[in-house]
Structure 1
Amino acid sequence: MNLNSLPTWSALTAHYESIRDCHMRDWFASENDPAPTRADRFTINGGGLTLDFSKNRVNEQTIALLIQLARETNVQARRDEMFTGGIVNPTEHRSALHTALRTSDPSAPYAAQVKAGRAKMAVFAERVRNGQWIGYTGKPIQHVVNIGIGGSDLGPKMVVHALHHLKKSDIHIHYVSNIDGIDLQNVLEQINPEHTLAIVVSKTFTTSETMTNAHSLRDWFRRSGCSSDQLAQHFIAVSANLSEVVRFGIEPDNVFEMWEWVGGRYSLWSAVGLSIMIAIGPEKFDQLLEGAYLIDEHFRCAPLERNLPVLLGLLGIWYRNFFGLQSYVIAPYSQALHFLPAYLQQLEMESNGKSVTLDGRFIDYPTSAVVWGEPGTNSQHAFFQMLHQGPTIVPVDFIVSLAPNHSLPGHHEKLLANCFAQSEALMLGRTETEAENIVGRKQTALIPHIVFPGNRPTNTILLNELNPRSLGALIALYEHKTLVQAAIWNINPFDQWGVELGKILSKVIESDLISASSADLRKHDSSTSALIARAREAITR
């Protein structure tokens, strides 16, 4: 399938040319009562979430053509193949059944394994939470250190931070991912070995960053007086490689299995989420799964034109491939969702940052947009100036909970007001006439500086409140959005070969850096050789 040659692609290209200069403020201004408003027509609900996409540069014809594109590119077939356990990751010959972790259907793929694995997690989590799991000096666990990287870190860290208001108050969860020793050192300064449990999360148990941090933490325990035999009380593994786990020194009974049919960035629903379950408890972890399941069912069953992940994905296609926009912003108006933009960076950019089709042909159209962002209102005082008045158009996803997770009066109303005002301002802009009315004729030199072009597209995603169910639904929404876009681009969102080359070269360079004798650096380019030489000099100084 050549995407550019599809009839609907050509129709969308022509349609883009016909509406590219239309301004959204005119569309809103032309509404006639009592007909349904633009907001009515372009707001949908599903899985407990509400998506208002009325402030986008689309009309009914745009949406109809995009839905037609989804059908023409077999989005529904790709969706169904994933849910039924088909080989949707052909380069690694794997299924992608993270959705099987969220259903209670006993006929679902791997249902027995999932049920047994979750039960084992629940028993362990409760033992830690109620003080039955003790350290080498007989004291209960107060600190849990999750050591992982990528999906083994970003997902659990994001969820635990988001649901901090529900976590057990006397257990503190820490996350270590970076091979930079400062990351681990900062955690070591906050914990006591007698009260600390480490969870080492790595499918292969050979990931360089994870295992370097795990070995350093193990050495720290030993220096504190914890014997090799007693380490079993302080180290848990989540892995698919039992032999490497045992070689590290972790007891087989302390291993939670990772399955090949769950990809890393889709894995927080599995034993990778053990730190989540310890933080919020098995019951609330189940609610997280239930929220994701609601979106799974919505994605499977809702018609395409009323389907949240489908529409979110299609809007991304519209801006990436027809407007040529290179990035979009995640702006959660919730400090609790501080790590959501970073989590979605990996989910979308590692999944869809591809340049070959499923059958290995190089493509000639853009794929993944750059994902970035920060929570509001902080982001308003950082990069919103560019969003409003910069020459580059950057779509924004605003995410906000209608109810607060705190008891401080007056804060949440201001937060909501800022969120809604920013999307309105990005849509409306400010004309020269409006600017002149503000500053008056005596300050005409100021007018160009306070004009805003507007017509900047935004989505607003509403949660009734931020709780495990709504968070699970929100995460699943973006997971399925990613699949929709991958299906249209005809790429594999479940592999990540792009990270391999750097890993291979880093091992060579590390050997050159620590070599006792002068390494032959001619095998590198001149820049890399010079950097290595300079670093060797600093290391040995």
Structure 2
Amino acid sequence: MKNINPVKTYSWKNLQNHFKKIKKLTINDLFLIDKNRFKNFSINFENKILFDYSKNFLNNETMIHLFNLARETKCIEAINAMFYGKKINITEHKSVLHTALRNDNIHFFLKKHQIYDDIKQILKKMKNISDNIILEKWKGYTNKKIKNIINIGIGGSHLGPLMITESLKSYKNKLNLFFLSNIDSNQLINIITKVKPEESLFIIASKTFNTQETITNALSIKKWFIKNINIDFNKNIFSKHFIAVTNNIDAAINFGIDKNNILPLLSEIGGRFSLWSSIGLSISLAIGFNNFKKLLQGANKMDQHFFSNPIDKNIPIIMALISIWYSNFWNTETEAIIPYCENMRFLPAYLQQLNMESNGKSIDRNKNRIKYQTSSIIWGDIGTNGQHSFFQMLHQGTKLIPCDFISFAISNNNNYQDHHIKLIANYIAQTKALAFGNIDDYICKKNIYQCCFGNKPSNSIFLKKITPYNLGLLISYYEHKIFIQGVILNIFSFDQWGVELGKKITNFLVEDLNQNIQKINKYDSSSQGLINFYKNFN
């Protein structure tokens, strides 16, 4: 990738000049000027997803400057570099190959790469495990069927599978699915009090197999399992109940995992991009391998769109440019993700990690401190719940917060169509109210406190239906949007060194907290005070 400071480009300067003109126009003005605004600023992708970005502070001139910014920062070259397996994760000296996981024609891109055979073997193993457990061929040590799947992981080994399986709840089978991520023992206890060891399968999902939270939880689960089985423990028993997903095969074997129960996780796959990989075993178990394949196929379809379409027709690029337009010219600091679907309640948290762990950087690719804005703060909640809490601030507060509203046209619950019609009415009403307000209404003119001035931007993302394929499309779209933001902002999106410092300090603190010393005085005064307070009670 080219290391180009976006602020130094002609397009950035043109956008600064253009901003001075367009900031005087309201969203209502833009709709009055352009009678075909919805048609001109929306894209219907294969009648599966509708992207409507017409309710934003932009016009044709805005988009021309933004498209030129993408061209000047060499976005197409960066896309090609990723798909062709170039080592764009420079700080870790790796390729970025999550798109390869869902591409049946991988040889077209990675002609000299051996990853294709590895991916096929992993998928085959995932299918075998999923089929055997779902069809009740895989039995526990007492010959009882497996009823419970417990995924032990954190970060990308947790949030992706959790978000997908909850979003596709209507596709879930009879298996009970649990996620153990928090090192807080309360979550551990909440799970082990609900399951029996002889009916449970534990998936230890950790790329390095040394993540503190995951291994601590895994060791506690192992101890609980051995204590609660009713016969003498042996390796054969363990192999019926424990699986590992990791890049560190030796560590998994040393933990006690049978080699045949280890699914490799390729080193070129970043954690937050790993749900498409062997990390997705819990997804495959929850919804069946065929549906997992449809998830991959949907993601691949968006990959094809992203790879082959020009900048001005490319959905992820357009959405990335809009985000940069707001954060760096309108000085917005946050973006809200608001899915109008109860089952998608974990989507904001998933996209929070995907975006902020990728682009929360302050050093550019030239090793310089950055003076412009990189990642926005991503947050959100489901509608309509959010309408009765933080929407008050969106409508009448002083902060400008661009929002993504996400919903689906066809309900999975045909018996409750009345609910769905009201849900969609709320979904559309909120974007309309935010954009146009009620300043012309009699009630507003009569009482200023009831006045909503509107002029609040949003994107509307309308899925035909929540299916594995369509969800794959949606998540792939957001992945590519975030990648393009990183390309334009001249940062490395695929490392997360900021996470490592806290881990290192934690390890030192664990040693000191375990010491039988009443007071420790080698840290800053605040940390020392916290340590000493803890030791007063332990």
Alpha-carbon displacement from aligned partner over 1:53-76 (angstroms, at most 9, x marks no partner): 000010000011000000000111
After superposition, give the CA deviation of every residue in 1:295-350 in whole Å (9 maximum; x if it has no partner).
Answer: 00000111211211001100000000100100010000011111100000000000
Aligned to 1:332: 339
Identity over aligned residues, as a percent? 41
Q: Distance in 1 between matches of 2:34 and 2:101?
A: 45
Tell me by how many angstroms 1:31 deviates. Answer: 4.2
Report how far residue 2 of structure 1 moved. 2.8
Residue 262 of structure 1 is aligned with which of 249, 269, 285? 269
| RMSD after superposition | 1.2
Alpha-carbon contact 1:400-1:463 (below 8 Å) kept: yes
Contact 2:197–2:228 (CA<8 Å) still a contact in 1? yes
Which residue in 1 is equivalent to 2:329? 322
Who is 1:511 aligned against? 511
- Work out the CA distance in 2 between the residues paired with 1:75 and 1:30: 31
User: CA offsets, 1:347-399, max 9 Å, x none?
Assistant: 00000000111232211111000000011101111100000000001010001
Q: 2:90 and 2:34 mapped to 1: Cα distance?
A: 48
- Deviation string 1:207-249 (CA, Å, 9 cap, x unpaired) is 0000011011111111112614211111000001111101111
Which residue of structure 2 lines up, in the alignment, with residue 420 of structure 1? 428
Q: Where in structure 2 are the equivalents of 1:347-386 lying within 5 Å?
A: 347-386=354-393
Gaps of 5+ in 1: none
Deviations 1:409-466 (A, max 9, x none): 30110000000000000000121x52xx2278xxx5xx22111121111000111100
Task: Pick closer, same or farther for the CA change 1:503–1:439 going to 2, 3 Å.
Answer: closer
Deviations 1:445-498 (A, max 9, x none): xx2211112111100011110000000000000000001100000111100000
| Pairing 1:349-498 to 2, within 5 Å after superposition | 349-407=356-414, 408-431=416-439, 433-434=440-441, 437-438=442-443, 444=446, 447-498=447-498
SS of alignment partner, residue 261 of structure 1: coil
| Matched ranges for 1:55-74 at <5 A | 55-74=55-74
Contact 1:330 1:372 in 2 (8 A): yes
TM-score (norm 1): 0.95
**Aligned partners of 2:294 and 2:245: how far apart in 1?**
22
User: TM-score, with normalisation over the residues of structure 2?
Assistant: 0.96
Secondary structure class of the residue paired with 1:393: coil
From 119, 131, 147, the equivalent of 2:152 is: 147
Separation of aligned partners in 2, 1:409 and 1:284? 25
Question: Aligned equivalents of 2:199 and 2:291: distance in 1?
Answer: 24
Residue of structure 1 aligned with 2:9, choices 6, 16, 34:
6
Query: Are positions 1:204 and 2:208 aligned together?
Result: yes
In structure 1, the partner of 2:194 is 190
1:123 to 128, 145, 166: 128
Which amino acid counterpart does residue 381 of structure 1 have in structure 2? H
Q: Which whole-Å CA distance do the structure 1 matches of 2:285 and 2:495 have between them?
A: 29
- Shift, 1:106, TM fit: 5.1
Gaps of 5+ in 2: none
AA partner of residue 410 (structure 1): D
Q: 1:155-184 CA deviation, whole Å, 9 max, x = no partner? A: 00000001111111x201110101001111
User: How many residues align structurally?
Assistant: 525
- The answer (yes or no) to whether the contact 1:514–1:536 under 8 Å persists in 2 is no
1:25 maps to: 28
1:297 aligned to 2:304? Answer: yes
SS in 2 for 1:25: helix
Cα 1:106–1:28 change in 2 (3 A) is closer
Secondary structure at 1:460's aligned position in 2?
strand
Indicate if the aligned counterparts of 1:288 and 1:468 stay in contact, CA closer than 8 A. Answer: yes
Structure 2 CA distance, aligned partners of 1:518 and 1:79?
56
The reply to whether residue 166 of structure 1 matches residue 171 of structure 2 is yes
Letter in 2 for 1:286: K
